[in-house]
Amino acid sequence: RRQAGLAVPGLVLAAMNEQALFDLELKVLLEALYQRYHYDFRSYAVSSLRRRMRQAMQRYECERLVDLQYRLLHEPELFAQAMQFFTVQVSEMFRDPAYFRELREQVVPVLRTYPSVKLWVAGCSTGEEVWSLAILLHEEGLLDRSIVYATDINPAALATAEAGAYGIDRMAQFSRNYLAAGGTASLSDYYATAYDGAVFDRQLRRNVVFADHSLATDTVFSEVHLVSCRNVLIYFNRDLQDRAVGLFREALVHRGFLGLGSKESLQFGCHHDAFDVCSREHRLYRKVA
């Protein structure tokens, strides 16, 4: 009976050791990728990386994480494909429409006071938010005197963003979001259809600069009036969140605006006192004087 009673704690301990071992292997993997490719995922949230690495192991038929590490280090083309498991590419046009309404009502009137405007979409993923902002700026008469920096670390995602081509089956949801966000026309006015895809008007991106930029390793590259970094910080640990917000703080002009995702906040970060809250509900902040 004593032996049977010890079995359960033993199983729990074994499970805990297995989890701890996986996390140790994960740490080694991230360090190896940094040394090999100079992509830094070491400060990404562990819980999210665990899940996505297990998905990658299944996708590439690797029984152990160390097997995946071997392939990623020895097959650069595989690492390029596997970027989808390190960066989350989930977005849609005018996502959280109320956020874009806040931009129209609170931010645009201030941006109009500047002779020229710069905006930074950090972690732009496949570009849906970039094209949304371009449409918003066009409708508010600001696009011609604006520069939009769209940055991400995933080359494939940046290529998709720059192409501005999305599945036609997504247009219905995009259109509903656009109207709820205060759109003044029809979203279909801004794209052409071909086969099963929709391609957005190239004129919308005439003042958009797509570029590789890492919030983990790179520095500020320009002074901007608005930073929109939505649903990116939730995948970072606290230190990396503070680093990213520090970059935004440094980049923003006096009284510049910062927009975050619906589940993100500055409340517990080290830069919380550097921003005033414009809309707590819609995660819109403004750099303090």
> For residue range 55-104, what is the model confidence (pLDDT) as tens digits?
999 999 999 999 999 999 999 999 999 998 998 777 899 999 999 999 99
Question: Is the confidence at residue 1, as pLDDT, over 60?
Answer: no
> For residue range 29-44, what is the model confidence (pLDDT) as tens digits?
999 999 999 999 999 9
How many other β-carbons are positioned within 10 Å of the β-carbon of residue 267?
8
Three-state DSSP state, 253: strand
**What mean pLDDT value characterizes the chain?**
93
Per-residue confidence band for 232, with pLDDT thresholds at 50, 70 and 90 = very high
Question: Is the confidence at residue 2, as pLDDT, over 50?
Answer: no
> For residue range 109-148, what is the model confidence (pLDDT) as tens digits?
999 999 999 999 999 999 999 999 999 999 999 999 999 9
pLDDT at 15: 61
pLDDT at 245: 98
Three-state DSSP state, 75: coil
When pLDDT is averaged across residues 167-171 and rounded to a whole number, the result is 96
Residue 227, strand partner residues = 120, 258
Burial group, residue 47, by CB count within 10 angstroms (0-12, 13-18, 19+)? exposed
Question: Is the confidence at residue 252, as pLDDT, over 50?
Answer: yes
Burial group, residue 16, by CB count within 10 angstroms (0-12, 13-18, 19+)? exposed
pLDDT at 89: 74
The structure's pTM equals 0.88
Q: Tokens for 81?
A: 């494909």
